[in-house]
Amino acid sequence: MRHVLTSLTLLLTLSACGSPSTGGPTPTPPGQETPTPSPVGTPAGTPIQKVIGAAGGTLGTPDGAVRLDIPAGALSGDQTIALQPITRTAPGGTGQTYRLSPEGLTFATPARLTFTYTDGDVQGSALLALSIGFQDAQGVWQYYRRPTRDLAAKTVSVETTHFSDWSMLEGIQLRPLKAEIEVGKTLPLQVMSCLDPQGDPDSELIPGHDCSPAAAAFTAKGWAANGVAGGNASVGTVADTGDKSGAATYTAPAQKPGRNPVAVSVGVSDLILGNLTLVSNVKVTEPSNTWQGQIIYTETGRRPWKMQDGFEGSGSEYAKQTQTFTVVGVKSADQYNTILLLEQDGVAEYSDFGHMEKKIYEICEAFGPTILRHHFIYDRDFKLSGRVKATLEARLNIVDGQYSLSFIPQDVPMTGQDTTIDIYRDGCAKTENNRSNSKPVRYSAGLRNDTVAGSLDPAHPDVLSGRVEGESEVFVQATQYLLSWNLTRTP
Residue that is last in its domain, among 270, 285, 300? 285
Residue that is last in its domain, among 267, 285, 303? 285
- Residue 270: predicted pLDDT: 83
Per-residue pLDDT at 7 exceeds 90: no
- Residue 75: predicted pLDDT: 93
Residue that is last in its domain, among 237, 265, 285? 285
Per-residue pLDDT at 197 exceeds 80: no
- Residue 216: predicted pLDDT: 80
165 and 177 part of one domain: no
Q: Within a 10 A sphere around the Cβ of 124, how many other Cβ atoms? A: 25
- Residue 83: predicted pLDDT: 95
397 and 453 part of one domain: yes
| Mean pLDDT of the chain, nearest integer | 87
Handedness of CA 116, 118, 122, 126 (dihedral sign): positive
Domain count, the chain: 3
346 and 472 part of one domain: yes
232-290 per-position pLDDT tens digit? 999 999 999 988 889 999 999 988 899 999 999 999 998 778 899 999 999 998 776 78
Per-residue pLDDT at 149 exceeds 90: yes
Q: Within a 10 A sphere around the Cβ of 227, how many other Cβ atoms? A: 10
- Residue 29: predicted pLDDT: 36
Per-residue pLDDT at 398 exceeds 50: yes
- Residue 336: predicted pLDDT: 80
What is the pLDDT confidence band of residue 444, given thresholds at 50, 70 and 90? very high
Of the candidates 391, 297, 412, which has an alpha carbon nearest to the alpha carbon of residue 339?
Answer: 391
**Are the beta carbons of 195 and 213 closer than 8 angstroms?**
no
Per-residue pLDDT at 47 exceeds 90: yes
Per-residue pLDDT at 295 exceeds 90: yes
- Residue 337: predicted pLDDT: 87
- Residue 486: predicted pLDDT: 95
Q: Within a 10 A sphere around the Cβ of 166, how many other Cβ atoms? A: 25
What is the pLDDT confidence band of residue 368, given thresholds at 50, 70 and 90? confident
- In Å, what is the CA distance from 267 to each residue of 17, 50, 189? 39, 44, 13
Question: Which of 18-22, 198-202, 432-436 is the most confident on average?
Answer: 432-436
Whether residue 102 has a cis bond before it, omega within 30° of 0: yes
User: Between 27 and 97, whose confidence is greater?
Assistant: 97
335 and 378 part of one domain: yes
Considering the chain, what percentage of its residues have pLDDT values greater than 70? Answer: 92
Q: What is the mean pLDDT of residues 73-99?
A: 94
241 and 107 part of one domain: no
344-360 per-position pLDDT tens digit? 999 999 999 999 999 99
What is the pLDDT confidence band of residue 443, given thresholds at 50, 70 and 90? very high
Per-residue pLDDT at 340 exceeds 70: yes
458 and 323 part of one domain: yes
Q: What is the mean pLDDT of residues 60-80?
A: 94
Q: What is the mean pLDDT of residues 417-421?
A: 94
Q: What is the mean pLDDT of residues 358-384?
A: 90
11 and 103 part of one domain: yes
277 and 305 part of one domain: no
149 and 191 part of one domain: no
Residue 472 lies inside a defined structural domain of this protein:
yes
Range of the domain at 432: 290-490
- Residue 23: predicted pLDDT: 31
252 and 303 part of one domain: no
Residue 25 lies inside a defined structural domain of this protein:
no
The 3-state secondary structure of the chain reads CCCCCCHHHHHHHHHCCCCCCCCCCCCCCCCCCCCCCCCCCCECCCCEEEEECCCCEEEECCCCCEEEEECCCCCCCCEEEEEEEECCCCCCEEEEEEEEECCCCEEEEEEEEEEECCHHHHCCCCHHHEEEEEECCCCCEEEECCCEEECCCCEEEEEEEECCEEEEEECEEEECCEEEEECCCEEEEEEEEEECCCCCCCCCEEEEEEEECCHHHHHCEEEEECCEECEECCCEEEEECCCCCCEEEEECCCCCCCCCCEEEEEEEEECCCEEEEEEEEEEEECCCCEEEEEEEEEEEEEEEEECCCCCEEEEEEEEEEEEEEEEEEEEEECCCEEEEEEEEEEEEEEEEEEEEEEEEEEECCCCCCEEEEEEEEEEEEEEEEEEEEEEEEEEEEEECCEEEEEECCCCEEEEEEEEEEEEEEECCCCEEEEEEEEEEEEEEECCCCCEEEEECECCECCEEEEEEEEEEEECCEEEEEEEEEEEEEEC
Residue 24 lies inside a defined structural domain of this protein:
no
Q: What is the mean pLDDT of residues 12-29?
A: 31
- Residue 3: predicted pLDDT: 36
- Residue 34: predicted pLDDT: 64
Per-residue pLDDT at 468 exceeds 90: yes
